[in-house]
Amino acid sequence: MSWIIAARYVHRPRIARRCDDCGRRLGPHIYLYGRAHDTDPPSAMRLCASHLDAMTHHKAMTHPKIVAALAEGARRTPDEEAA
């Protein structure tokens, strides 16, 4: 069982990083912090928007913390497009 400790939406990252799955340079992204198993130490994972779009069918995408982070991203995106 995987344990998601924290999930948050990062709109403007301070440091240039790459997606941990596809290697693309990150702009707005989702930052996940957790562990894969009870005995593993916690670690961070950063995922780009295109990777998240491809994972919409995955059951982890229904986790309340991930849903809240994605909702924050959806809430902030229209504000930036209007400016």
pLDDT in tens, 6-35: 889 998 889 999 998 888 899 888 898 988
For residue 1, give every residue at least 6 positions away whose Cβ sits within 8 Å of its Cβ, in sequence order, or none: 37, 38
Round to whole Å and give the CA distance between 83 and 80.
5
What percent of the chain lies above the pLDDT cut of 70?
77
Residue 57 has pLDDT above 50, yes or no: yes
Give the chain's end-to-end CA distance (angstroms, integer). 42
Average pLDDT over residues 55-75: 77
Which of the four pLDDT bands, split at 50, 70 and 90, describes residue 82?
very low
> Residue-wise over 45-82: b if at least 16 C-beta within 10 A, else e?
ebbbbebbeeeeeeeeeebeebeebbebbeeeeeeeee
Q: Is the pTM of this model over 0.85?
A: no
